[in-house]
């Protein structure tokens, strides 16, 4: 997906375009202020030969003004792999910026805030993966991109929410270790018909050798998607019987089963664009609902905005300007880890 505004657009033009899309979402004085900052960012971006990649969760004024490309994790990893710019500014969270650096070791990769982490990425370490490999020798490791480079380095292949099922099937093996998202793993197991165990929590682990299972998971969770419940869905459907509910696969299998559709952030955006329901509810970070609502003014978008990603929300226009001006915060990965982690990401990208 390509963002809507060009790099040489003036503050006035940015304001006009943001107003046309976001007048119902962002107060006018804030749109003016943000347009000024966005125009400066686009100017410095051009001077420094930089590219800005923006995840679908970025707040609306940022999402619709400064990124050269917006999209989901897979899309942005592909964009990062293709860029010929000298500097990549990642408006997303640290594991995403790291993925860009893995694929572009000679380029400068910046993230506008050091606080943009991720509960899934924090749930597992490289040593945890090595321990699992010792317990399950010979079983290939699939790692969700929502992990840091040291974890990717211990993995055979990465996946995102868009290609997790395809990646697992591509391995053609009897068993697979799938890390670290418990719910994504359970959703993949459900879709593929594979039986999954969680050796760190499963009391049957002592006899795991005798069990009939094909997937080995890990109990990591996204602190945002973990908050959505079947009760939320029941309550919303009671009030709006015609609502179409879309859930990110980081939601629990129960929530996914009670929803009408599940897919990556890009897949959810496409689904809303291509279907014709009177109203939708996106069970994911609230800013994305605002961005989708702005692009689909004929469709009503219900939002559960008490659920926010505190990490994605660290990224602001102000910090992005400072990031470009001061070249901060630099993403750096030790070369020995980078080479192995890049291999796992490149294998994923090659699957298509």
Kindly list the residues in this chain that would bind ligand SF4 in the complex (CB under 6 A).
93, 118-120, 146, 222-224, 250, 285, 309, 311-312
Instruction: Give every CB contact of residue 120 below 8 A, 6+ residues apart in sequence.
Output: 144, 146, 147, 180, 181, 220, 221, 222, 250
Q: Kindly report the CA angle at 53 between 51 and 55, in degrees rounded to 5?
A: 170
Query: If binding is defined by CB under 6 A, does position 72 make contact with ligand 13P?
Result: yes
Examine residue 348 and say whether the peptide bond preceding it is cis (omega within 30 degrees of 0). no
Query: If binding is defined by CB under 6 A, does position 160 make contact with ligand 13P?
Result: yes
Selected binder of ligand 13P within 250, 255, 294, 337 (CB under 6 A): 250
Report, in Å, the least distance between residue 309 CB and ligand SF4: 3
Report, in Å, the least distance between residue 132 CB and ligand 13P: 22
Report, in Å, the least distance between residue 222 CB and ligand 13P: 5
Report the alpha-carbon distance of residue 315 to residue 113 in Å, rounded: 6
Q: Binding string to ligand 13P for residues 263 to 292, with x set by CB under 6 A, is what?
A: -xx---------------------------
- Distance, CA of 263 to chain centre: 12
56 binds, among ligand SF4, ligand 13P, none (CB under 5 to 8 A by kind): ligand 13P
* End-to-end C-alpha distance for the chain, whole angstroms: 16
Q: Binding string to ligand 13P for residues 187 to 226, with x set by CB under 6 A, is what?
A: -----------------------------------x----
Selected binder of ligand 13P within 17, 35, 42, 161 (CB under 6 A): 161
The DSSP call for residue 251 is: S
Report, in Å, the least distance between residue 222 CB and ligand SF4: 3
Q: Report which secondary-structure segment, H or E, holds 141.
A: strand 141-144
Select 83 or 119, whichever has its Cβ closest to ligand 13P. 119
262 binds, among ligand SF4, ligand 13P, none (CB under 5 to 8 A by kind): none
Q: Of 309, 218, 291, which Cα lies nearest the Cα of 26?
A: 291
Report the alpha-carbon distance of residue 2 to residue 242 in Å, rounded: 31
Select 93 or 268, whichever has its Cβ closest to ligand SF4. 93
Cβ distance 59 to 313 under 8 Å?
Answer: yes
Select 34 or 248, whichever has its Cβ closest to ligand 13P. 248
Interface positions, 287-346, toward ligand 13P (CB under 6 A):
none
H helices present in 175-316, as ranges: 182-192, 230-239, 253-258, 265-274, 286-295
Query: If binding is defined by CB under 6 A, does position 56 make contact with ligand 13P?
Result: yes
Q: Of 74, 156, 157, 152, which Cα lies nearest the Cα of 334?
A: 152
Report, in Å, the least distance between residue 110 CB and ligand 13P: 19
Q: Which residues bind ligand 13P (CB under 6 A)?
A: 56, 72-73, 146, 160-161, 222, 248, 250, 264-265
């Amino acid at each position: 997906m390509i963002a809507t505004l060009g790099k040489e657009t003036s503050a006035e033009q940015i304001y006009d375009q943001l107003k046309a899309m976001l007048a119902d979402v962002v107060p006018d004085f804030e749109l003016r202020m943000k347009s000024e900052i966005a125009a400066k960012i686009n100017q410095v971006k051009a001077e420094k030969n930089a590219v800005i990649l923006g995840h679908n969760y970025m707040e609306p004024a940022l999402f619709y003004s400064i990124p050269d490309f917006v999209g989901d994790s897979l899309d942005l990893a592909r964009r990062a792999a293709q860029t010929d710019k000298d500097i990549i500014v990642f408006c997303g969270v640290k594991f995403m910026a790291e993925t860009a650096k893995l694929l572009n070791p000679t380029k400068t990769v910046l993230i506008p805030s050091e606080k943009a982490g991720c509960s899934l990425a924090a749930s597992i370490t490289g040593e945890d993966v090595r321990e699992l490999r010792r317990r399950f020798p010979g079983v290939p490791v699939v790692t969700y991109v929502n992990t840091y480079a040291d974890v990717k380095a211990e993995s055979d292949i990465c996946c995102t929410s868009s290609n997790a099922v395809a990646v697992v099937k591509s391995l053609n093996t009897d068993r697979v270790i799938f890390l670290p998202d418990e719910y994504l793993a359970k959703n993949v197991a459900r879709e593929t018909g594979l039986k999954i165990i969680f050796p760190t929590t499963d009391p049957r682990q002592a006899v795991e050798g005798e069990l009939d299972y094909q997937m080995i998971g890990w109990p990591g969770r996204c602190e945002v998607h973990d908050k959505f419940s079947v009760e939320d869905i029941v309550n919303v459907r009671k009030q709006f019987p015609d609502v179409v509910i879309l859930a990110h696969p980081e939601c629990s299998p129960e929530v996914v089963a009670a929803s009408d559709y599940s897919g990556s952030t890009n897949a959810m955006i496409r689904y809303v664009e291509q279907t014709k329901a009177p109203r939708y509810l996106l069970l994911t970070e609230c800013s994305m609902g605002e961005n989708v609502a702005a692009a689909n003014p004929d469709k009503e978008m219900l939002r559960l905005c008490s659920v926010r990603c505190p990490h994605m929300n660290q990224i602001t226009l102000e910090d992005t300007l400072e990031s470009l001006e001061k070249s901060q915060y630099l993403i750096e990965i030790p070369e020995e880890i980078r080479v192995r982690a890049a291999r796992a990401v490149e294998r994923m990208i090659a699957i298509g």
